[in-house]
Structure 1
């Protein structure tokens, strides 16, 4: 956060943040000088369906998504070696990591197929450990690759909902995600971003929202945007946000923007660019967006001020204290129009009856820019905002503990982006399998950074043989249970980590998982394999499974998004005759199901 100077003389010169901006820009621009060493990971046009820094649930998108059909060849973008192969039911599904001699790393996710020598190594480890999930690491001499060598094929595995290649570039040091567009891949883009909505927030002196309004701007012939009428606000402090999207030439997808700027008259106040995102900082997305609107409507607004200013500063080349390269570049404002609040986070502090001209810009990596212009004036009112009802005040930047014997909540010093007027209520619930009251832990529309630790006490004694079947979680309006797990504490409460505020309780789970046939005929003589689906009445907990054919371990490939377990005879054909497949599935609370079917080959 930066004190506002008293005048606008030389508003950019000698500004320390401008120095940081230049250093970061130079460092990032140096990456693009390596572009001749890199080829595209796919042949033909690169069809972008997801951009770097695009807003996703609790994280920024760490790469580019390229649309392609299943088994489209995937190539190493530069010389190097395969340093890692990751196989999992979710996430990237099957992914290959290639380390390059210049200190960068390329990542290829959601692959359907792997190059034969890579697949053979994965299969050998899976059978040796009798485990589908694998995380294999290699040194430089094991699997060297050359630029343009095929290493796999496009797929739809993991947390993917359509065939595509998820492609990343990273720094090997710290494994930090970089914008792949800086490496010179040819993606024609002459389209400027579209600005759909403007949101104006009225803020109190703490920076907390007292109200907001959403405006649809007018589109001008130039392609830019404006708000025709002067906006009158009744708070001296305001914040602005835009709903804006970008498109490349070859695809109609509405993708995420690369960056944005906020100007007061001619002075740059705030800017951000998605150039470099450490994974450990990616959750700070929730401080740069309208988290409540995402939770309620699944729509994204980019804030043009920082809820957590200490996290949004321009990092020096080797500084990872701030998550994004040249983010939160504050600039001084005209002292005649803006009164200094003593510190600065990108919000605007206005003087009464002094109109201010504002311009908000969104930009893409190719340099296309869209601009929205508006005029704002502050007119004080004698009506003070109503105090927000609450039971506790939790200051941001300090660890907090709330304990009323039945409920205990522990929050670390960085759990809140801003001060919180914390609301709490307890509602009795004696429904079947509900073992505690429902504890309303603040509001799910308030972001919680990382996790908090929640302890809940049951309303009565729980039989010893049921204690392992209890979990801390939530229940939605349809009655579906979601688990956060949990462990019993010495004082008789159950404790678990929670990643959001909301309504929580203790529940009993004694229902075993279900197994259903997806494709599994009793006559498989002409089949290439079979598939079944496992499911559980409680979401959020990992299920373990083990399958055998005639008593020998069977490799079942697990698709986490559908619950499918897929067996291919290419991974082990028992040969002609009658065979017995047996499956055991266990949920996170120890409930088990055994299922079997005989088939003929």
Structure 2
């Protein structure tokens, strides 16, 4: 039975101080415990095995839920974890694919993504919405109470839709009001975890020009030990002066699978002094990209290893930090030794420790920094502009995660096209910056077909951004740094029939499939028509498959004309048509 909270608070209001604060605190903690101790139905009726967990480091974000394995299969029943009403339905070829959002009376929202299909009543309703909007991509909010589910009701089938890399269910719990995702592993789902996190590497950084670590600005150290107890490998020592920072390469694994998952909490202590601690209970979508400030982004781009910084850089507003004394920096002043302890924990309470000693030296850095004429100092807290005769760059404040030197240079290639270098891909960008390239006179007749190309290490330029033409200049916004040039796309997209041919006989439920692609600027829009009437076609960008499921409720028997149209990002249009007969 639910307690009568109105009666309880009325009785408390009659009490005298100093009892009221303590009682209010007790009730608050009791309510918090009840929220976490809810008896949720599991979203799948199979053992819950994870391929990814909450807070795991992904490309440009912390993972906001659990990736639950579906035994390599598509079509497993997915269940509502508790009573609720559908608040949102989203379908896209990208991202979460087919996703369902259900609001619950406890003030939380559960999210089920990469589905293969929704429940029949939702599937029929969403198809009507897609036809009304003439779009496969749809993000819609059903009227309140239209779709109501009880705990344990089937809400759809598991799948591999959107940007999924294999069959699984992406599952989230969010605070309905703030939309902040909450760590589902804080709830009593049956997911076995008795393994302590693993520690693979330590990086140490000099945080200013006067500081050093082992007489340089940066050093890497390998680990010795295992099963929860780690140290530096024999013979490796750390000598430092000034302000230094640490970063740790660490991952977690759960019992039933060997997939690499994220850690929950890391604490850095110097002697008895705790300098830094992060803990990932909740996330904020509005700041989630700042994950790039939390990790050593340059290390990741070079070596594909995720190192958690155990100090914070200038532009990092994440609220996952419990303690940041001196932003996590260790001060090495004078001679002496400082014992360091780093503790890594998972949600289940398994912990690993790394212990070592830093030998402080009174000798400041004597390293010489060689000047580079192409480098400019970019203050991450201020806007920055750079210009040449054929190119320009405008970086807004708070775009970079930390202030540093960047390369800026422009030139022309053998074809007379402008080439602009803006740092390289190891510099992270939180916001979009603007770059402009001057269009050669020879390209002006094809100006409407120009798009941005990013120059790879092999010297080849690949399509990047459609951008816009303003007079004699091409302008684009980007959130990656590197080397860019101009590309021209005059080729139409490509359409290949897979399960269709002129004169085909079609029956209810048959698939009409095509493969579509564009090797230039990329596909902007795709549409399929029968007798000039728009029909629904799903698109899988991973395979290029465009598929229409024939429905005799929408198209009556007889002879018909099918037309497929594909538009790329600079306006090139390709069309395919053919006749068929339906029964």
TM-score (norm 2): 0.87
What secondary structure sits across from 2:85 in the alignment? strand
Q: 2:451 aligns with which of 471, 490, 502?
A: 471
Q: Which residue of 1 aligns with 2:319?
A: 324
Q: Which residue of 1 aligns with 2:287?
A: 281
**Measured at CA, do residues 487 and 383 of structure 1 come closer, stay the same or move farther in structure 2, by a change above 3 Å?**
same
2:156 corresponds to 1:146: no
What secondary structure sits across from 1:562 in the alignment? coil
Q: Which residue of 1 aligns with 2:494?
A: 514
Q: 1:204 aligns with which of 191, 208, 211?
A: 208
**Measured at CA, do residues 208 and 305 of structure 1 come closer, stay the same or move farther in structure 2, by a change above 3 Å?**
farther
2:255 corresponds to 1:249: yes
User: How many residues are paired up?
Assistant: 546
2:352 corresponds to 1:358: no
Q: Which residue of 2 aligns with 1:120?
A: 124
Which structure ranks higher in relative contact order (CA pairs < 8 Å, sequence separation ≥ 6)? Answer: 1
Q: Shift of residue 480 of structure 1?
A: 5.0
Q: Identify unmatched segments of 5+ residues in structure 2.
A: 1-24
Contact 1:230 1:375 in 2 (8 A): no
**Measured at CA, do residues 404 and 31 of structure 1 come closer, stay the same or move farther in structure 2, by a change above 3 Å?**
farther
Q: Which residue of 2 aligns with 1:223?
A: 228
2:452 corresponds to 1:452: no
Contact 1:203 1:235 in 2 (8 A): no
**Measured at CA, do residues 436 and 328 of structure 1 come closer, stay the same or move farther in structure 2, by a change above 3 Å?**
farther
Distance 2:211 2:360 in 1: 16
Distance 1:208 1:457 in 2: 43
**Measured at CA, do residues 571 and 152 of structure 1 come closer, stay the same or move farther in structure 2, by a change above 3 Å?**
farther
Q: Which residue of 2 aligns with 1:192?
A: 196
What secondary structure sits across from 1:277 in the alignment? coil
Contact 2:241 2:333 in 1 (8 A): no
Distance 1:571 1:51 in 2: 43
Contact 1:388 1:421 in 2 (8 A): no
Q: 2:160 aligns with which of 156, 171, 175?
A: 156
Q: 1:85 aligns with which of 86, 89, 93?
A: 89
Tell me the C-alpha RMSD between the 2 structures.
2.7
Q: 1:62 aligns with which of 61, 64, 68?
A: 64
Q: Deviations over 1:371-392 (max 9, x none)?
A: 1111121343663242452532
Distance 1:53 1:239 in 2: 22
Contact 2:242 2:364 in 1 (8 A): no
Contact 1:32 1:182 in 2 (8 A): no
Q: Shift of residue 518 of structure 1?
A: 4.2
Q: Shift of residue 577 of structure 1?
A: 6.7
Q: Shift of residue 107 of structure 1?
A: 0.8
| Most deviating of 382-391 and 255-264 | 382-391
2:328 corresponds to 1:346: yes
Q: 2:276 aligns with which of 261, 270, 274?
A: 270
Q: Shift of residue 206 of structure 1?
A: 8.7
What secondary structure sits across from 1:423 in the alignment? strand
Distance 1:480 1:560 in 2: 21
What secondary structure sits across from 1:127 in the alignment? helix
Q: Deviations over 1:533-585 (max 9, x none)?
A: 2111235x552111123433231101123222122235868577765432111
Q: Deviations over 1:265-303 (max 9, x none)?
A: 232111111111111101111111121222223221111
Q: Which residue of 1 aligns with 2:391?
A: 407
Distance 2:34 2:261 in 1: 22
Contact 1:219 1:226 in 2 (8 A): yes
**Equivalent residues in 2 for 1:282-297, closer than 5 Å:** 282-297=288-303
Distance 2:119 2:404 in 1: 52
**Measured at CA, do residues 384 and 271 of structure 1 come closer, stay the same or move farther in structure 2, by a change above 3 Å?**
same
2:446 corresponds to 1:498: no
Q: Shift of residue 223 of structure 1?
A: 3.4
Distance 2:411 2:31 in 1: 56
2:106 corresponds to 1:102: yes
Q: 1:438 aligns with which of 416, 419, 442?
A: 419
Distance 1:546 1:484 in 2: 22
Contact 1:274 1:324 in 2 (8 A): no
**Measured at CA, do residues 542 and 383 of structure 1 come closer, stay the same or move farther in structure 2, by a change above 3 Å?**
same
Q: Which residue of 2 aligns with 1:39?
A: 41
**Measured at CA, do residues 572 and 158 of structure 1 come closer, stay the same or move farther in structure 2, by a change above 3 Å?**
farther
Q: Which residue of 2 aligns with 1:585?
A: 566
Q: Shift of residue 229 of structure 1?
A: 3.8
**Measured at CA, do residues 462 and 263 of structure 1 come closer, stay the same or move farther in structure 2, by a change above 3 Å?**
same
Distance 1:199 1:223 in 2: 19
Distance 1:324 1:367 in 2: 22
Contact 2:211 2:217 in 1 (8 A): no
2:232 corresponds to 1:232: no
TM-score (norm 1): 0.84
2:357 corresponds to 1:375: yes
Distance 2:67 2:273 in 1: 35
**Measured at CA, do residues 40 and 365 of structure 1 come closer, stay the same or move farther in structure 2, by a change above 3 Å?**
same
Contact 1:352 1:377 in 2 (8 A): no
Distance 1:128 1:590 in 2: 25
Q: Shift of residue 71 of structure 1?
A: 1.1
Distance 1:67 1:32 in 2: 28
What secondary structure sits across from 1:355 in the alignment? strand
Distance 1:441 1:199 in 2: 27
Contact 1:488 1:494 in 2 (8 A): yes
Distance 1:388 1:110 in 2: 50
Contact 1:283 1:450 in 2 (8 A): no
Contact 1:230 1:374 in 2 (8 A): no
Q: Which residue of 1 aligns with 2:55?
A: 53
